Structures are given as structure tokens and as C-alpha cells.
Amino acid sequence: MPRLDLNCDLGEGAGCDAELMPLVTSASIACGAHAGDEATMRATVRAAQRHGVVIGAHPGFADRAHFGRRELELPREAIMDLVRTQVATLRRLAAETGAAVRYVKPHGALYNLSARNVEVADAIAAAVAEIDTGLVLYGLAGGELLRSGRAQGLAVASEVFADRTYRDDGSLTPRDQPGALITDEDGALAQVLRMVREGRVRSTGGIDVPVTADTVCLHGDGPKAVAFARALRAELLRAGVAMRPLV
């Protein structure tokens, strides 16, 4: 039976975390830079504990005005420091209630940069390995971050997206380009099922791109996030896909 982790970006102030948490297996929690603060981190950690959801850190650029989705040019040490600082904060807050952070998944522009830029990927992977080699590193399927993580001796998880389109090289279509988001629920569901069953996704150029689907991302800030999460979970169950956390 195929198995899949459902991870959702939470603690970002979208207002529907309580409804989403029971539907997912892993929670990627904003660490106070692109969104969130210590109060929201604590609340999200406690909610994850109540529902048996695995906790992950979701560090991003400290750029709240653009929700961490604007690419910033930072030197290696600055990237390492923002990852170290944000992950350490979440780990400290989680430990207060006996919880543990199990994985790290970069957010937004930092995530996209790490998928294609070796230097950024290496900096993130090095920071995570420095913190704890037991942390799993989540990254875009086929991207540089996964290669960097493996080189640092980290376990990695190959992530795919339900609501985003892919380009011919396997990268995500940038959000500022037409057709970047899949707004049709049936189309998004079909894309996930094909990635899980066949290990392929149809690009915007009309070619099949190979992907490994260890975990699928559910964005928690969309207007129909809860309805889509319920529909995706139901469709995966009907298809015989077991939903389990990776760690």
C-alpha cells in the first residue's frame, strides 16, 4: 500500500489551523520570521500534540511584508544563522511541553532558492546538521536541498505540491507567473494521485517530469484550505494510500 505524509504550513495566522490540524500528519510551524511569534508557536505545538501530529520547523526570510516570498541575497553565514535561530526557538518552545521538533522545511523564497541554488542549499543543510543530525530535511522533489542534505548525512524527504504547477525542469512555476496555482480541486487531486501512484507530474510544457512523493504540502493560508485538505484526505483513502508521518 502506498504511504504518504501530509504536511501543512501552520502557525502563519491564516485562522484555520484548528480545523486543519486533525487532517494532516505533520505540521510545518512558522518560526517567527516570515510569520508567527512565540505565542503562536506554543499554541501550534500544543495543538499538534493533542492530535498526534509530527512537529517540524518552517524557517524563512525575515520579511513579513512579503510573507517570506521575496528572494533575498544573503551570504552563507547569514542563511545559516536565520535557520539556526528559528529552529532553535521552536525547539526550545516545544521542549517546554515535552514535544520534539522532528524535521525542518524552509519556507517560501528560501525554499525555492534552496531547490536550485547549491550555495543556499548547502548553507541550510549545514545549519540543520549542526543543530541535530537526527532532523529530517524536507525539500522539493529533485531539488538541490535534498542533495545537500544527503551530503551532510541527513535523512531527507522529497516534497510535492498539490496546488502548484511544475515547469519542465521540475521546478515550481513562480507565483508571479500565470498558471502558477492550481485552483481547480479535481485537477489538484488528480495531480497528487498521479505523483503518488506513477511518480510523475505533467509540466506546464506538456511533458512528464519524474518526481518522488514522500510528503505532499498543503498550504494553510488559502481561502479553501480546509475544504481541500478534507477532499484530498478522502481521495487518498479511497485510492488506498495510507497517510502516515515520515518521522
**Measured distance between the N- and C-terminal CA atoms of the chain, rounded to whole angstroms:** 18
The percent of residues in the chain predicted with pLDDT above 90, rounded, is: 93
Please tell us whether the domain made up of 3-243 is placed in CATH 3.20.20.370: yes
- Report domain extents, the chain: 3-243
pLDDT of residue 5: 97
Mean pLDDT score, 182-194: 93
pLDDT in tens, 224-246: 899 999 999 999 999 999 999 98
pTM: 0.96
Query: pLDDT band at 220, cuts 50/70/90?
Result: confident
CA distance 118 to 113: 9
Contacts 24+ apart (CB under 8 A), 224-228: 224/185, 225/14, 225/16, 225/20, 226/16, 226/19, 226/20, 226/23, 227/185, 228/162, 228/163, 228/185, 228/188
Mean pLDDT score, 156-165: 96
pLDDT in tens, 189-202: 999 999 999 999 99
CA distance 212 to 158: 6
Q: Which residues contact 223 (CB under 8 A, 6 or more apart)?
A: none
